[in-house]
Structure formats: structure tokens, C-alpha cells
Amino acid sequence: MPRGALGIALAVAGAGLILDQATKAMATAWLHPTERIPLLGDLLALTLVYNPGAAFSLAAGSTWILTVLGVLAVGVAIWYATRLRGIWWGIALGLILGGTIGNLIDRLMNPPAFGQGHVTDFLAYGDLFVGNVADILLVAGFAMIAMIVILSRSPRDGEPDREDTPERLDVACEGRP
């Protein structure tokens, strides 16, 4: 029987959070906001940006709302992790939890004020946007959830259609019939 996802989610979140905060600390220590260091030509570079908003600087004037949404997202991820089973759900929710907490720490602790701090971004994807490790964790976590849901809905050999349950989703992701 698959195990609960909470322990796995917390372990993955912890590892992701450490990686996120360490890379943000290095970026802050080693990069200057006016410089751009190419890594893969124009495709990927290092550049230090303090983002008051969400992705693509959306809602830059409502940083406190993003902080509240981050706290709610942490609660929702933990709630789901206590109810779902299996390693794949644990990993997906842990990635989301680690990414959310990583950016939430910036909003709580960075200037200009508690709960209104700017997120430290340093990975420039061409001229499209600048992100961080927490953003990568979030995208990977949501992509995993999409794959779990897609795999759980695919027909099985000789298996009748039935309602999806967390246990069935986990079984589908572990490749067992």
C-alpha cells in the first residue's frame, strides 16, 4: 500500500528550500544589479533583479496580496499532502511547497518591508523574464501534478472506468495496474 505523501513532501520541500535560499544568497553576494553574465549565449544568463510582483512582475503594486496568497498556498499544499498517498504526490507537493516557501521568505524578510519584500531573481531566460530556483520548483511541481492527473485518466488494459481517487492516482503514477 502506498505511503502518505506528507513526509516525502516535507523532505523534498526542505531540500528545495535550502537550494533556493543558498542560490539567492550567492546571487546577492556575487552579482550586481547592472551586470549580466551569459551562461548559454542569449538564452540563459545571470542577472540580479529584485521583483516586487509575481511572474513577469505582475501585481507589482500588490506585494502584500502575494504574501497572503503564498501563506494560503503553503496551507493548501500541506493539507493535500496529509490526504494524498504515494511518492509521486509527495514529490510534486514538496516541489510546490519548497518553491512557495522560498519566495514567501523573500516577501517576509526582504526590503522594503515585512510582508512586502521583493523576491530575489537571478536566472535570466533570454529577454523574457528573470526567475529563481523557487520558480523552477513551482513549475516542476505543477507539471508533475498535471502528469499524475493525465496518467491517472489514461485507460488501462481491461480495466473498467471508475472514479479517480488519490490512491488510484498514486497507483497510476507508480506504474502498477
CA distance 48 to 9: 30
Q: Which of 121, 127, 164, 170 is catalytic?
A: 121
CA distance 49 to 60: 13
CA distance 136 to 156: 32
Q: Which of 135, 157, 161, 164 is catalytic?
A: 135
With DSSP H G I counted as helix, E B as strand and the rest as coil, what are the percentages for the chain, rounded to 5?
A: 55, 15, 30
Residue 175: phi and psi, rounded to 5, are 75, 15
Reply yes or no on whether 42 is catalytic. Answer: no
CA distance 134 to 154: 31
Residue with cell 516557501: 101
Reply yes or no on whether 121 is catalytic. Answer: yes
CA distance 22 to 28: 10
Q: Which of the residues are catalytic?
A: 121, 135
